[in-house]
Amino acid sequence: PPPPPMQHQSPATTTVYIATPLEEAYTCFILETVFQIPVQDITNNTNIRIPGRFAVPFLTNAIGVDRSLLRTIWSLADPQSNGFLSCKTQLSLILRCITMAQANLFHPETNDNGQDNNNSNNDT
């Protein structure tokens, strides 16, 4: 059976991320080839532990995505700040966010209303 969807919970909302079959296949490929995780562990979604220090060299190769945005993307996949990824869904989420950032479709500095959270110029 597929792993349960990853859930990110905040006080007001719950977001569910489910990888597409293509994302799932690409994530497995990356886990096998880049992180040398055996295919049986990937299939069973067990024994996956990728410390941030091992992921950083791979993630920083993302063309057009600066380190501060990569940190934000990592925090989405590791909301408890464990410092490691423990399931393939977390890596799938990171890969999707990086792809969106490369296409200029990922803007975490905006809130749900489309307003810039970094805007300190409030007209009140």
List, for residues 15-43, the tens digit of each pLDDT value: 677 889 999 899 999 999 999 988 777 77
Q: Are 91 and 31 in contact (CB under 8 A)?
A: yes
Mean pLDDT lowest among 54-58, 65-69, 105-109: 105-109
Across the range 103-121, mean pLDDT stands at 57
Which among 70, 61, 119, 116 is positioned nearest to 94, based on CA atoms?
70
List, in order, residues 6 or more apart from 81 with CB less than 8 Å away: 75
The pLDDT of residue 71 is above 90: yes
**Confidence (pTM):** 0.74
pLDDT of residue 47: 67
